A = this chain, B = another copy of it.
Amino acid sequence: MRLARLSERSGVPVATIKYYLREGLLPPGRQVNTTTAEYDEEHLRRLRLVRAMIQVGRVPVAKVREVLGHVDDESLGRTIRVGAALWALPQVPEPDEDDEYVRAAHREVGALLSTLGWENAKQLTTISPAYRQLVVAVAAFRRLGYDWDSELLVTRARLMHQAAIADLDFLETHPSEEEKVAAAVASAVLVEPMLQALHRLAQEEETARRYGFE
């Protein structure tokens, strides 16, 4: 399969594929001669993953390269590879540790993890991007003056834990072993927009039930 065909089958413009090749998001094709390179089904799969990450997951190109680097790093164990790949996903800006709301949010999230018994997550607070994002979001909420019951956060966390369990169960049963790392990345990148969409749809449904369309 040559470039034009790869473009046709993926729906990605030729110029964009060339850009991805240049950026190292896609391995080069097998060079047949000076003016021809051959691509295979694996290139197509990778291209679709790249597109999904960029267009659906809104992952910046540089992050995609970083994530894929971990996915392809066969020197690491699977858990580490998945972790490294997921942690390379885009992050919220660093919290300002001098801000009082940020410090309060650290305490609040720490208490949350204790309540939940997420002992592993507690060990990751200094390094996990997800932990930092949570702190930033909680701090922003408080800064706006909203004052919720800590129970609300616990409820949401339990719901997301159930979602995560379902995700991991799916990963365990379905994809072939060699694909697990890529599947984990695809899952993280695509499940999140999916959950977000479901959340908004559910809100629309529930709002209409309570208040009608007026």
Contact = CB atoms under 8 A, between A and B. Distances in A.
Interface residues of A, number: 87
Binding site secondary structure of chain A: helix
A147 B159 CA distance: 23
Q: Which of A186, A190, A200: most chain B Cβ within 10 A? A: A200
Given A48-B144, A55-B93, A163-B156, A207 B121 contact: no
Contacts of A40: none
Interface of A: 11, 45, 48-49, 51-52, 55-56, 77-80, 82-83, 86, 92-93, 96, 99, 118, 120-121, 124, 128-131, 133-134, 136-138, 140-141, 143-148, 152-153, 155-157, 159-168, 170, 174-175, 183, 186-188, 190-214
